[in-house]
A and B are shown apart, each in its own frame.
Chain A
Amino acid sequence: MESLKQKAKELLEAGEIKAVLGYARGTSDTRRPHVAMSALEVDKLVADQACTTNLANLLMKHEIKHLGKLAVVASRPSTLRSLLQLTAEHQVADGAILALVPAEGGVKQLGTAQAFEEHLALVPQKKTEKDQALLDRLKAMPRAERFAFWQKEFSRCMKCYACRNSCPMCYCERCTMDCNRPQWVPVPSHAVGNQEYHLVRAMHLAGRCVECGECGRACPVGIPVHLLTFFAEDSVRAQFGQGGGASATIDNALSTFRPDDKETFIR
């Protein structure tokens, strides 16, 4: 933690960056996102096991983007995976954002997509046991039962869009949900509106989701929405041999046309 603060101060003082996006102590000893632009603010930085939020979505936020060059504390591999995917989608230029990775006895400073990829090779992406268990259960369910499961979960949804807004890959300036010509998805948070929203969200993220689980964590009413995109991600990986967040040069499976596609209907 001390070396992280040290590093952050050095970078700020040298003028290499304008701000560090990291974590600070939050309510009831949780961790919250924290933007440090001065030595005083750097002192509030925390790096430990409790830092679970994927900060990458904040990097896409207008006010933060405009602070100037940023370093982000990448306590979780998924933050780096997000950066790779965002680079692949031309939202972040390679080298534009520094990643500070707290490591045994120090802090690793990574500046390029290649460095992110090399680091990620050392820390394989793993779902939590709880997520994996529920995902396996869902996959084993007959279709009707699975449908019923989600219907029940969606009945609690209130379309607060915390799941969408916390997702690093949901950066669109104008989300489909916010368009009314045509009105693709009903606005009300009733059975149909909720279901269509979640279907569209899952489809828009299939092959792009970096499996950070942030959406599910953000949901105030505990709907495991991240399992929808995890599920979609597994399907895309099985079908196309690639998933979200693996590299900075990947073409998204569901939005790329190739004349040599293995399916004939698309050619």
Chain B
Amino acid sequence: MKAFQFVDVRDLKSASQALGRNPDSTRILAGGVDLVSELKDRIIEPELLVNIKTIPGLNGLKMDAKGLSIGALVTLDTLEFHTGLWKSYTALAEAAQSVGSPQIRNVGTLGGNLCQRPRCWYYRDEAIKCIKKGGSKCYAAEEDADNKFNAILGGGPSYIVHPSDCATALVALGATVKYSDTQGQIRSVSADEFFLLPKENPAQETVLRHGEIVTEVWLPAPAEGTRSTYIKFKEKDSFDWAVSAVAVKVVAGPSGLVRDVSIVLGGVAPKP
């Protein structure tokens, strides 16, 4: 990786300030699982890393009658080992548990999981300047390209698939993503709207503008009779990304009549 500066920040505002305006020159560092591989593979070469792990208050997890609040810095294994989550937000617990390996879940954060970059092998190849990296075309869409793991829905002009397991579960569970804008104001957006299709902006996968930071994920308390699950299909049984995945939430009345259902697909489109 290219040499960079590193700064620990204490609050969101100074984080935004440190991040500045030039998207190429700075990056947010949380657990670093994805970011460090992007650095090592020279997909990005920022001059400054802004470590947000030193910001207090971003790693809380609170569950009450109204719902569940998860700080952006909460690690995936915290979600995996939370019994309350298994009971009320099963899909999220299952999604978190399905991520990578124990070491990755021990370090990787929920915020980082949602903001991780695509796995498309053309994107991850240093020598290929694809549309996601400011180039003019999506290599996966070329005739004769190897697009085995690329989008079958919602693609164009880029054909990445979103790699996050938690994202798929969160959209199905009707989550809200909270983030701090460059002024330090907290904004909210539904998980569904948090993610973008490439036709809206091929260079990024979320609504976040440079300098904005995910602070929290909020999930409403499940209605009476709610059940949810996340099923991930991968080629390899140990760590692997989803070839395809599905998160389902069903709300059933006392008679068993289904009142509400949401089905969200992962691994097949640029957003869940």
A binds B: no
Interface residues of B (CB under 8 A from A): none
State the A residues within 8 Å of B (CB): none
